[in-house]
Amino acid sequence: MSFSFTDPKPNNEPSFSFTGPNPADVEEQLKAIADMAHEILRLVAEVRRQISN
C-alpha cells in the first residue's frame, strides 16, 4: 500500500510519499500529519494575534 500527494502548483518543492505494509499504517501517518497541521495553524493564529496587539 502506498500513498502520495503533490502540490497542485507547478514548483520544485518535493512531493510527499508514504509506503506501508497495510492501510492502517497510512491512516496513522495521515493522522499524524493532520495533527501537526492543526498545531501549526493554531500557532500561526497565536502569532497573528500577538502581532495585531
H helix runs in the chain, sequence order: 23-52
Name the DSSP class of 18.
Answer: E
CA atoms within 13 A on the CB side of 7: 7
The reported pTM is 0.51
Calpha distance 31→24 (Å, rounded): 10
Per-residue pLDDT tens digits of the chain, which is 53 residues long: 555 655 555 566 656 665 656 777 778 888 999 999 999 999 999 999 999 98
